[in-house]
Structure 1
Amino acid sequence: MKKILLSIFAISLVLVSCKNETSNEAKTVSENTEFNQLLKEYNEGKLKLNPINATYAGDNRFNDQFPNTISKEYKLATKDFYTNYKTKLENFKDDALTESQQMSKAVLDWDCDMALAQNSFKNDALMPINQMWTINLTMGQLASGSSAQPFKTVQDYENWLGRLNGFYSWMQTAIKNMRQGAKEGYVLPTSLIKKVIPQFKGLAKTKTTEHLFYSPINNFPDSFSADEKKGLTRKYTNMLDDKLIPIFNSMHTFLTTKYLQEGRKSSGISSIPNGMAYYRHAIKNYTTTNMSADEIHKLGLREVSRILAEMKKVKKEVRFKGTLKEFFNDVRGNQALMPYTTPKQIIDNFNTIHEKMKPQLEKLFGNKPKTPFVVKQTEKFREASASAEYNPGSLDGTRPGVFYTPIPDASKYNVFSDEALFLHEAIPGHHYQISLTQENQDLPDFRKTLWYSAYGEGWALYTENLGKELGLYTDPYQYFGMLGMEMHRAIRLVVDTGIHAKGWSREKAIQYSLDNEAESEASIISEIERYMANPGQALSYKIGQLKIRELRAKAKKQLGNKFDIREFHNQVLETGCIPLALLENKIDNWIASTK
C-alpha cells in the first residue's frame, strides 16, 4: 500500500512539538498553568462564537443565542479571534510545556490555521444553504424537541424563542447574500437547488399548529401551569406567524424563481470564483494532508480495483453466475434482503447486531464509553436527502449519542450493509471515538469537541473492517455489504476529485458509482449531490482509514508478540481528534517505548 503523504505543515508541528517520550535527554516539565488558562479561554471563546456547538456539547449557557454567522461583522470577529490566539501561542515555547501540552499547542495551531483559511473564502457567506449540511437543517432538528436543545423548563422555552430571533435574522441575511452570490458567480448547481426547494416548501406551507417549529408546544412538560402553557403558546404562535413562516415563504419563493434561474449547470466547485484554491484548502482541511487532487484520484482508482477483486470472491461464494455488475443489480433488488415492513423492525435489527457483537468487544477494547447510546429513525422533514449519521451525546453523558438512520420506505430498505453501518456510525465507530474523547478528563475542554474528519471518519471506516473479529459478517451478503461500504468510500476519492478538480459532470460521477458499487441509484444520486454540496469532505474517510490500518500493520510488525490490539486502539482513541501526522508520531513513540 502506498504510504499516504502527510501534511508538511503538520509534520513540522510534530517534529517540534511531540518529542519521543522515551528519549533519555527529555527533561521533566511541570504543567504550564498559563498555557492551561490559554486553552480554557480559547475553548470559551469558541463556544461564544459557535453557541450551537455549545448546546450539542451539553453546555446550556448560550441556548438563547444564534449569531449571524454569515454577516460581515461575524467574519471579522472570527478572523480577529483566531489571529489573536495564533499570536498568543508564540509566547509558549515547547520546552516549557509537557508532552500533552505540546500536543495541545500543535492541535490549537492547526485549528486556528484551518479556521482562518476557511474564513478567507466567500463560499460560506454567499452559499449558506444546501440540501444536506447547513445550519437551517440543524435548526429543524433542534426545533423538533428531540435533539440537543432542551425543552424541560419555562426558561428552556424562552431560550429557544431567543435563538429563533437570531435564526430569523440569519435567514434574512441568507436571502440577501444568496442574491449577491448569484451576481458574483457563487451559486449552487441547479440539481442541488431542486433538492432544497421541497425542504423549504414544507416549512413555508404548513399551518402553524402542525408546523415542525411548533413541536415544543405539543410536548409541554406536565409541570407547566396552565398560565405558563398559555403564554408560551401565544409567543410561539406569534413567532411562527409573524417571522418564521413569512421568512420561510420568502426563501421558498426566492429559491423557486430567481435562484433556480441562476443555478449553475456545472457540478464542481472549480467553476465558482477562486474555486480551485478553495478545493485545495478543502482537501487539506478534511484530510489533514498536503495530498493533491491528482494523487487522491489515483489512490482511489487503485483502491476501487483492489476491492472489486474482493467482491468477485463473494460473488463466487454465493454462486452467482452473472457479471459483477449484474450481481450489484441483483443485490440492489433482492427481495430477500428487504425483509421489513416497519421502521421499528429496522431499528430492532440494529439493536440485535449490537447484542451479537457485545461479547467480542472486550477482546478489542479495554476502554468503553459510559455515555448511553440509542438508534433512531431520521426525522421526516430531512429524511429524503439524509444519510445515516451519528449525533454525539452531551459532554456530561446525560444525553445519549444517537445513530440516525433514514427509512423513507421500510419495505424497500435493503439490509445487506447494516452490520458494517452499525460498526461505523455506532459501536465501535463514532460512538466509541467521540464519547471516549468527551469523557477523557486528561484532555483540555477545547479538544473534547474538535472534529477532524480524516481522524474521526477514518476511525469509523477502520472499524468496519473489525466485523469478523467482532463475530459479524458470517453471512456473505453482510461481508459484501462491508466491501460495498469500503468501495463506497474508495469511489469517493475518484468522484469527489473528478467532480471538483477534473471537470466531471454529476451524471458521469453517478454512472461511475453505478458501475462499481451495489448502492441503489437513488442513494447514489443523493451521495453524489452530497459531494457537490461539501467539496473534500468525502475524501477524509479513506485517507484516514488507510493511515490507521498502516499504523496497525507497522505496530504489529515491529512489536511482534508484544503487540496488544486493545492497547493499540487505546493509543489511537485516547487523544481524540488530531491531524494524521500527530497521530502517526504518537503511535511511533508508543512502538518505541513498548519495544
Structure 2
Amino acid sequence: MKRVLVLLVVVWGIMAGAGRAQQPTPAATSAALLANLFNNYWDDRARLFPLMATAQGDNRYNDRLPNDQTRAFRQQQARLYRRYLNDLLNIDRARLSADDKLSYDIFQYDMRTRLEGLRLNTWMMPFAQIYSLPTTLGQLGTGTGAQPFRTVRDYDNWLARVSRFPVWADSAIANFREGAKAAVVLPKVLVLKMVPQLQAQVTGDVSRSLFYGPVAHMPASFSEADRTRLTAAYQEAIATDLVPTYRKLADFLQTEYLPLARNSTGLGDVPGGAEMYRYDVRLMTTTPRDPDAIYQTGLAEVKRIRTEMEAVKKQVGYKGSLSSFFNSLSNNPRFMPYQTPEEVLRAFRGIQARIAPNLGRLFGRVPKSSFEIRQTEAFRAASATAEYNRGTADGSRPGIFYVPILDATKFNVTTGMESLFLHEAIPGHHYQLSLQQENTSLPKFRRFGSYPAFSEGWALYCESMGRELGLYTDPYQRLGALGDEMHRALRLVVDVGLHLKGMSREQAIDYLMANEPIAEPAATAEVERYLAMPGQALTYKVGALKLRELRTRYEKQLGTKFNLKAFHDEILAGGSMPLAILERHMDAWAARQR
C-alpha cells in the first residue's frame, strides 16, 4: 500500500504542476497509476531477463547474463511478481477505460500464472535440446542474430555477457544433480541429443568457432587499436570461457547425467510431474481445459482431417492406401525439384509474391517492419524446424523466416510449403508480432509479450486462409496444408499421450507416421521436441480452433454487418493475450458492430 500512496503523490504533483486549480479525477489517477506500474514493471523485467530485452531490441542490458539457475534468482522473481500483483490490486479497476481494463486483466493473469509456476521443481531440469541458453548463445554470438555488433561498445558488451557463462553452467550442473537425487531427470533420448549440440562448440582453433564471426566481420570503421584489442579479447573468451564451458557441460551430461537419466519419456513419470504437466497445459493454452478433453478434441480432429486427405488422394487418382500415398509422395523425384538452398528460398519468395495481391482484402493493418527469408544456420539446422524470429520495433533488424535446408535435393514440395509460409511468415507470425510491437499505444508488456495459444493459434488459423489468399490451387499443396493441420491435431493426442497416458516415444513416432506424410527422422525430432517442451505443442490447434470459433460465431451473429478485414484487424490490434480474455474482448467488439 505504501508504494501505491507514493505513486499517488507523484501523480497529484504532476497534475497540480500543470494547473494548481485542477484536481485529478479518480479515473485519471487510476489510469496514471496503471501506466506507471506497467512502465516500472517493464524496466524491472528487462533488468531481470536481459536476454529477452536484447531479443526485443532493448539494448540497455546487452552486457548482462544473470545466473537464472539459482534459488536466489527464483526468489527474486517471486518477490517481483508478488509486488506488482499487489500494486495492481490496489488500483480501482472500475475507474479504468476499456483499454486499460484489458491491460489490467492481462497483467493480473500474467503475474498469477508466473507465481504459480515458481512453486514447481522444473528448475531441476535446467535445459534440454531446444531453446536452451547454450544454443541461444550460439545464435547471439555469430554476429548475425539479435545481439548487435555495430560499435566497440557492442563488442565489449558481448565479452562481458559470455564471461558469465561458466558460472551459469556450474549452477546448471548443480541443478541437474539435485534433480537426479529427486529422480526429476530428463529422458535419456533427449540427453543423447544435447551432448553433440554442446560438443559442436568445442574446437581447438578459435578462428573456426562460430563465436569468431564478429571478429571476422568487424566494422571497417573501428580503429586499429580497437581491432587489435578486440581480436585478442575474443580469442581469449572463446578459448577460456566458451569452449571449456561447452566441453564441461557435454562431458557432465555424457559421463555423469546420462546413466541417471530415465528410460521413460513423459513428464508424468517423474515425482510431481503430473502437476508440472497440468500447469504447462494451462500456461501454454491459456485455458483451464483438462488435458483429457484436449486429447479427445485431437482424436476428433484427426478423424476429420483424415477424411479430407482421402478426398485429395481420390482427386489425384491414387488407388492405394493413405499411408502408401504418403510414401509415394516422399519418394517421388517429381516433388524434389531443387538443387541448391537458394532455389528453395526462391520458391518461398514466389509464394510471397503470389499472396501479395490478395492481402488487402483480408487485412487493413500491414506491418512497417521489413521481412527476410533465410536459410537456418548450419550449426543448428539438424535439430531445427522452420521458424520466425521477430524483428525490432525500430526497424533496425528485420523479421526473419528461417528455413532449415540440410539437403536441397531432398526438400519435398508436398510437405506444405505454402501453408508453412502462411504460418511462419506472412500473414502469420510476421504480421501478428510486427503489428503488435509497432503499436506504441500498448504498454510494453503487451507490445513485446507473447502467449503461445494466441500467437501459434493465429499462425495456424492463417494456414486455413490459403484459398482466400490465392494458394492451394495445386492438390498437392492442398494436401500439404492438410498435412500441416493434421500435424497440429496429432500433437493434441501425442503431447497428452506422452506426458499423462503412458504413450512411449516409439508409439508416438508410429502414430505420427501412420496419420501424416512425415519421415521417421522428422517424426522423431517432433516427438523429442514435445518431450523437451511439455504442453507447447497444444497451443497451435487450441488457439486456431478458438479463432475459427469466434469468426464463425460473429459471421452468424452479424450477418451482412460482419467484416472479415475488421475482424482480423481487431484481433491483431490488441496483440497477444490469453484466450479467455481475447474471447471477452472480441465479444465486446462484435456487440459494437451491431
State whether TM-score is above 0.5: yes
Q: Among residues 223, 237, 240, which one is paired with 2:238 in the alignment?
A: 240
Higher RCO (CA-CA < 8 Å; seq separation 6+): 1
Q: Among residues 322, 325, 338, which one is paired with 1:324 in the alignment?
A: 322
Deviation digits for residues 139-163 of structure 1 (CA, Å, limit 9, x no counterpart): 1100111111000111000000111
User: Match of 1:283, as an amino acid?
Assistant: V
User: Match of 1:251, as an amino acid?
Assistant: L
Q: Is the 8 A contact 1:455 1:580 kept in 2?
A: yes
SS at match of 2:199: helix
User: Match of 1:454, as an amino acid?
Assistant: A
Q: Provide structure 1 residue ranges, at least 5 long, that are not aligned to the other structure.
A: 1-26
Q: Does 1:166 align with 2:164?
A: yes
Deviation digits for residues 170-195 of structure 1 (CA, Å, limit 9, x no counterpart): 11211222122222212211111111
Superposed displacement of residue 446, structure 1: 1.2
Deviation digits for residues 570-592 of structure 1 (CA, Å, limit 9, x no counterpart): 11111101111111111111111
Q: Is the 8 A contact 1:133 1:534 kept in 2?
A: no
Superposed displacement of residue 29, structure 1: 5.1
Q: Is the 8 A contact 2:165 2:241 kept in 1?
A: no
Equivalent residues in 2 for 1:194-593, closer than 5 Å: 194-205=192-203, 207-416=205-414, 417-593=416-592
Deviation digits for residues 364-399 of structure 1 (CA, Å, limit 9, x no counterpart): 000100000101111111111111111111121221
User: Match of 1:485, as an amino acid?
Assistant: D
Of the structure 1 ranges 229-238 and 430-439, higher mean CA displacement relative to structure 2 is found in 229-238
Cα distance between partner residues in 1 of 2:165 and 2:212 = 15
SS at match of 1:32: helix
Cα distance between partner residues in 1 of 2:102 and 2:329 = 46
SS at match of 2:357: helix
Cα distance between partner residues in 1 of 2:90 and 2:360 = 44
Name the residue aligned to 2:130.
132
Q: Is the 8 A contact 2:85 2:108 kept in 1?
A: yes
Cα distance between partner residues in 2 of 1:205 and 1:250 = 13
Superposed displacement of residue 211, structure 1: 0.6
Cα distance between partner residues in 2 of 1:133 and 1:60 = 21
Superposed displacement of residue 28, structure 1: 11
Cα distance between partner residues in 1 of 2:466 and 2:375 = 23
Of the structure 1 ranges 273-282 and 90-99, higher mean CA displacement relative to structure 2 is found in 90-99
TM-score by length of 2: 0.94
Cα distance between partner residues in 2 of 1:117 and 1:403 = 34
Q: Is the 8 A contact 1:205 1:249 kept in 2?
A: no
Q: Provide structure 2 residue ranges, at least 5 long, that are not aligned to the other structure.
A: 1-24
Of the structure 1 ranges 152-161 and 252-261, higher mean CA displacement relative to structure 2 is found in 252-261
User: Match of 1:86, as an amino acid?
Assistant: L
Cα distance between partner residues in 2 of 1:198 and 1:189 = 16
Deviation digits for residues 287-318 of structure 1 (CA, Å, limit 9, x no counterpart): 01111111011100000000000000100111
Superposed displacement of residue 538, structure 1: 0.3
Cα distance between partner residues in 1 of 2:170 and 2:393 = 33
Superposed displacement of residue 238, structure 1: 1.2
Q: Is the 8 A contact 1:391 1:403 kept in 2?
A: yes
User: Match of 1:324, as an amino acid?
Assistant: L
Superposed displacement of residue 332, structure 1: 2.0
User: Match of 2:239, as an amino acid?
Assistant: D
Deviation digits for residues 42-71 of structure 1 (CA, Å, limit 9, x no counterpart): 111111111111111111100001111111
User: Match of 1:300, as an amino acid?
Assistant: G
Cα distance between partner residues in 2 of 1:331 and 1:462 = 26
Superposed displacement of residue 207, structure 1: 2.3
Q: Is the 8 A contact 2:513 2:523 kept in 1?
A: yes
Superposed displacement of residue 167, structure 1: 2.2
Q: Is the 8 A contact 1:361 1:470 kept in 2?
A: yes
Q: Is the 8 A contact 1:204 1:252 kept in 2?
A: no
Q: Is the 8 A contact 1:377 1:405 kept in 2?
A: yes
Cα distance between partner residues in 1 of 2:211 and 2:117 = 31
Q: Is the 8 A contact 2:453 2:542 kept in 1?
A: yes
Cα distance between partner residues in 2 of 1:414 and 1:120 = 45
User: Match of 2:438, as an amino acid?
Assistant: E
SS at match of 2:201: helix
Cα distance between partner residues in 2 of 1:135 and 1:430 = 23
Aligned pair count? 568
Superposed displacement of residue 206, structure 1: 5.0
User: Match of 2:585, as an amino acid?
Assistant: K
Superposed displacement of residue 274, structure 1: 0.6
Cα distance between partner residues in 1 of 2:234 and 2:392 = 26
Deviation digits for residues 108-165 of structure 1 (CA, Å, limit 9, x no counterpart): 1111112112222221x22122111212211110011111100011100000011101
Of the structure 1 ranges 424-433 and 27-36, higher mean CA displacement relative to structure 2 is found in 27-36
Q: Is the 8 A contact 2:134 2:198 kept in 1?
A: no
Name the residue aligned to 1:145.
143
SS at match of 1:77: helix
Superposed displacement of residue 282, structure 1: 0.4
Equivalent residues in 2 for 1:74-85, closer than 5 Å: 74-85=73-84
